[in-house]
Structure 1
Amino acid sequence: MKNIHVRSTIQSYDIVIGNHIRHHIKDQLDKNYSSILIITDSNVGKLYAQDIHDGLNQKNIFIEIVDAGEQSKNIETFYNLHTKAIEYGLDRQSLIIALGGGVIGDLAGFVAATYMRGIDFIQVPTTLLAHDSSVGGKVAINHDKGKNLIGSFYPPVLVLYDTDTLQTLPPKEIRSGYAELIKEAMLSDSGLWNKLLSQHLDRITPADLEQFLEMGIKIKAEIVQQDERESGVRKFLNLGHTLGHAIEADLGYGVLTHGEAVAIGLLFAFYVSEQELQAVLPIQELRDWLKRNEYPFLVNTDRIDELIDLMKRDKKTEHNQIQMVLLNKIGDPVTHIVEENKLKNYLTSFVEREIING
């Protein structure tokens, strides 16, 4: 079992990584809670909810299951979960457990942040992608006009990462989470980048996956500790997300996984970095690796204007200027304002090259 401590001005917390630790969750709690609400989804709930319930070994445990998928991260589900919390009698000494992937972590975390002005919550991620979203204390729901536009900074009291749960992930979810690992490597050093791109996802071993997972968490934790509220270097973690979020919203949440959309955004960030910064980046290497591992290159090619509008609603946009995270080289990110007319030209040529002719 491994422990990574994350310092926070709001609330510091530990990330505990180990195998089968979901069965002993009670051992990790440092206080007694009056009641506990486990929020999970229709895929994860049938696999692990009972394990968590039994591992808590106390009365007043409730389970709420929402539909699996990004489309559940909406205001209606958020409101319904508040209603359930009230009906179950949760008070300020209660706990919410987010059991699932990034969608559940964001949704349940935002419920915890706003219920009675904030109660404790624990992240129990069950996907590779959630190694990223469970660290850093950002919780949110989506709006029809943009992803994660309604939310807060609200750290968990604990992240409990049972790596055994990764064994049940379908290939689509492995692809999704691995894209965020690649992003973290782009922000850190070429050594990790080379290790990640030397793998074929069909043949990656659990031991390698766990090693990469720990490295990715450490990279994100270090950045978050420097800039908790995303006023500086934490913006770099949005590499690939300006276009990725726009693609998700435009196609409809759930058509692509978050990581699959971000993978397209990472390739586009390379492309724009070459144009704007004259950077020399391994774009061909990334393109070939994504294709070998069957990442979908899915963009509505006749909706460039709509994608630009969605990118303008990105949280990094300031004074209606689109700010992207670009790279001078692997391990050297910068934030860079890209003029709208240039961005439209870049996106048009990128789509023609990667999506239509790719």
Structure 2
Amino acid sequence: MMNRINVNLPEQSYEIAIASGNLDNLGEQMSSLQLRKKILLVSNPTIFKHYGERAIASLKAANFEVVSCTLPPGERYKNLNSIQKIYDVALENRLERSSTMVALGGGVVGDMTGFAAATWLRGINVVQVPTTLLAMVDSAIGGKTGVNHPQGKNLIGAFHQPRLVLIDPEVLKTLPMREFRAGMAEVIKYGVIWDAELFAQMEASKNLNQHRYVKPELIDSILTRSCQAKADVVSKDEKEAGLRAILNYGHTIGHAVESLTGYRLVNHGEAVGIGMVAAGQIAAELGMWQKEDTQRQDALIAKAGLPTKLPAGVDIEGIIEALQTDKKVKDGKVRFVLPTQIGVVTVTDEVPSDIITAVLRGMQG
């Protein structure tokens, strides 16, 4: 059964299409959008080995002309050098303004392909085919694209909405366990910021940190409810003028931890888990939410197999300094998304630095 969620935007609305076996429908779904024939499929070698031929076969069956480009896996390759490789293949194969780039992979592939599509010939079509839980519920939706600068995450980027987000839960079967847990961080985020029912479903479930044992019904609920939450927020605020900032819950300190560890020690989801623990504790210190809610959140993060302490050797002064380069800094003040109850958060730039420091000290492993 196909589950369709609409992302309603003033200029270009699109669908998130979720169904088991959906990868084989890629060509048909893209044909229905009346996209022109030239396609550049971007992936990484691991994902391409698993799913590249299937995606290309589906596209060719729908009469698309497909070329492909594979990039090294990992956040440390999410840079302008990789974008140059995409441009080179685009130029060599004469991609036109009516052509489409297809991102087949996780968040790194999706962000880079989206940025390349946003900037090639000042903007061509992009279709997102996420293969990780994190990309399915978060990064593939909403049009945020970009690459990292050595001094900070996603400092170079553009908003560029996809024409379609196609999700096939079956591909999660080949996802490494650590990557599944990383995706659960974003799912927990939606529970805290938007959907208390989703949070409760996860609290009641078993084996949340092992996707091979999570019931298909829960996976369906996780995907549908998370994608709906993201679609709701993006539809109300496409370019982060207000409400969309809540999607950064856990990301402010999380991004600082990622960049300080060179994008090698912790992955994005693990960093977000650490950031949510910190944000929850800051909110509790400020008297914004109950200690019991902090405990519920931290227990769920731990249950999902995510870290709740800072990695050993991470310098707290370094985190405080890195916060100042965050994209969300305004007039020198760091904006934090802080919870007031499960399912509700607020945005504030009134967090005293001594509280941030104290909370981080308490999180040292």
TM-score range, shorter chain: over 0.9
Asked if 1:295 corresponds to 2:306, the answer is: yes
Residue in 2 aligned with 1:33? 36
CA contact (8 A) 2:14 2:163 kept: yes
1:72 Cα offset (Å):
1.7
Residue in 1 aligned with 2:354? 342
CA contact (8 A) 1:321 1:337 kept: yes
Residue in 1 aligned with 2:251? 241
Residue in 1 aligned with 2:294? 283
Matched to 2:326, the amino acid is D
* Identity within the alignment, %: 34
Picking from 313, 317, 334, the partner of 1:322 is 334
Residue in 1 aligned with 2:321? 309
Q: How has the CA–CA distance of structure 1 residues 327 and 128 changed in structure 2, closer, same or farther, with 3 Å as cutoff? A: same
CA contact (8 A) 1:34 1:91 kept: no
Residue in 2 aligned with 1:205? 215
CA–CA distance in 2 between the matches of 1:136 and 1:150?
A: 16
**Count of residue correspondences:** 353
1:206 Cα offset (Å):
2.3
CA contact (8 A) 2:281 2:359 kept: no
Residue in 2 aligned with 1:257? 267
CA–CA distance in 1 between the matches of 2:92 and 2:115?
A: 18
CA contact (8 A) 2:146 2:157 kept: yes
1:173 Cα offset (Å):
1.1
TM-score scaled by structure 1?
Answer: 0.94
Tell me the alpha carbon deviations over residues 277-308 of structure 1, each in whole angstroms, 9 at most, x when there is no partner. Answer: 34204222333333344323343545111111
Q: How has the CA–CA distance of structure 1 residues 226 and 262 changed in structure 2, closer, same or farther, with 3 Å as cutoff? A: same
CA–CA distance in 1 between the matches of 2:85 and 2:352?
A: 39
Bigger Cα displacement from structure 2, 244-253 vs 277-286: 277-286
Q: How has the CA–CA distance of structure 1 residues 170 and 163 changed in structure 2, closer, same or farther, with 3 Å as cutoff? A: same
CA–CA distance in 2 between the matches of 1:192 and 1:12?
A: 25
1:339 Cα offset (Å):
4.5
Asked if 1:110 corresponds to 2:115, the answer is: yes
Asked if 1:101 corresponds to 2:112, the answer is: no
Matched to 2:234, the amino acid is V
SS in 2 for 1:50: helix
1:3 Cα offset (Å):
0.8
Matched to 2:117, the amino acid is A
CA contact (8 A) 1:176 1:260 kept: yes
SS in 2 for 1:129: helix
CA–CA distance in 1 between the matches of 2:349 and 2:185?
A: 24
Matched to 2:34, the amino acid is K
Matched to 2:270, the amino acid is E
Matched to 1:310, the amino acid is A
CA–CA distance in 1 between the matches of 2:48 and 2:147?
A: 20
SS in 2 for 1:22: helix
CA–CA distance in 1 between the matches of 2:11 and 2:359?
A: 39
Asked if 1:332 corresponds to 2:344, the answer is: yes
CA–CA distance in 1 between the matches of 2:306 and 2:332?
A: 31
Q: How has the CA–CA distance of structure 1 residues 21 and 345 changed in structure 2, closer, same or farther, with 3 Å as cutoff? A: closer
Residue in 2 aligned with 1:149? 155
Tell me the alpha carbon deviations over residues 28-83 of structure 1, each in whole angstroms, 9 at most, x when there is no partner. Answer: 12224241100001221101011110001136311111111111210111122111
CA–CA distance in 1 between the matches of 2:5 and 2:235?
A: 12
1:340 Cα offset (Å):
5.5
1:18 Cα offset (Å):
0.6
CA contact (8 A) 2:44 2:70 kept: yes
Question: What is the aligned-residue RMSD (CA, Å)?
Answer: 1.6
Bigger Cα displacement from structure 2, 301-310 vs 163-172: 301-310
SS in 2 for 1:319: coil
Residue in 1 aligned with 2:18? 17
CA contact (8 A) 1:272 1:346 kept: no
User: Which blocks of at least 5 consecutive residues in structure 2 are unaligned?
Assistant: none
SS in 2 for 1:141: strand
Residue in 1 aligned with 2:171? 165
CA contact (8 A) 2:19 2:169 kept: yes
Matched to 1:276, the amino acid is L
Q: How has the CA–CA distance of structure 1 residues 190 and 314 changed in structure 2, closer, same or farther, with 3 Å as cutoff? A: same
SS in 2 for 1:277: coil
Matched to 1:7, the amino acid is N
Bigger Cα displacement from structure 2, 292-301 vs 267-276: 292-301
Asked if 1:67 corresponds to 2:78, the answer is: no
Q: How has the CA–CA distance of structure 1 residues 53 and 278 changed in structure 2, closer, same or farther, with 3 Å as cutoff? A: closer
SS in 2 for 1:309: helix
1:175 Cα offset (Å):
0.6
CA contact (8 A) 1:10 1:155 kept: no
1:311 Cα offset (Å):
1.2
SS in 2 for 1:33: coil
CA–CA distance in 1 between the matches of 2:169 and 2:111?
A: 20
1:87 Cα offset (Å):
1.0
Residue in 2 aligned with 1:3? 4
